[in-house]
């Protein structure tokens, strides 16, 4: 494997780890773990369409809703596609499943992530989109 593809593989692994940490923070309703993944100037659009600009706004919202969320199931996040816009910017498509007894719902977030000077990948511009099942 050449140096470029080794770096690329390491970046994909680091991006997958961020998504795994999103999953963990949601499962454990841990706002601090979740908020540590964001760029200070990040933009987050919730599945309900609320636009949050900057870490302060994202933090206020997250600290209010995440610990109070009353779902009692399991949530999983799976990276389904990574597109490197530049070597330090990636569009990451995620499949999100909420599983509760007798019910499941799906989300299709898009995370634009940026690689920092210290090598960390951070959530920078994100859209959390609910997936509506097709009517038959």
Torsion of CA 18, 77, 44, 92, to 10 degrees: 70
The per-residue b/e assignment along 45-65, b for 16 or more CB within 10 angstroms, e otherwise, is bbeeeeebeebeebbeebeee
**85-109 pLDDT, tens digit each:** 999 999 999 999 988 777 778 899 9
Of the candidates 98, 31, 34, 33, which has an alpha carbon nearest to the alpha carbon of residue 67?
31
**26-60 pLDDT, tens digit each:** 989 999 999 999 999 999 999 889 999 999 999 99
Rounded CA-CA distance 86/11 in Å is 12
Please state whether the predicted TM-score (pTM) of the whole model is above 0.95: no
């Amino acid at each position: 494997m050449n140096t470029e593809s080794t770096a690329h593989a390491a970046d994909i692994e680091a991006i997958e780890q961020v998504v795994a940490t999103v999953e963990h923070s949601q499962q454990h309703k841990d706002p601090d773990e979740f908020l540590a993944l964001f760029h200070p100037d990040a933009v987050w659009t919730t599945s309900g369409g609320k636009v949050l600009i900057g870490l302060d706004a994202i933090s206020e919202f997250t600290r209010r809703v995440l610990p109070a969320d009353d779902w009692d199931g399991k949530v999983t996040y799976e990276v389904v596609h990574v597109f490197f816009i530049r070597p330090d910017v990636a569009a990451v498509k995620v499949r999100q499943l909420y599983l509760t007894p007798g019910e499941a719902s799906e989300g299709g977030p898009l995370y634009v992530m940026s690689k920092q000077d210290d090598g960390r990948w951070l959530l920078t511009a994100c859209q959390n989109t609910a997936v509506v099942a097709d009517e038959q």
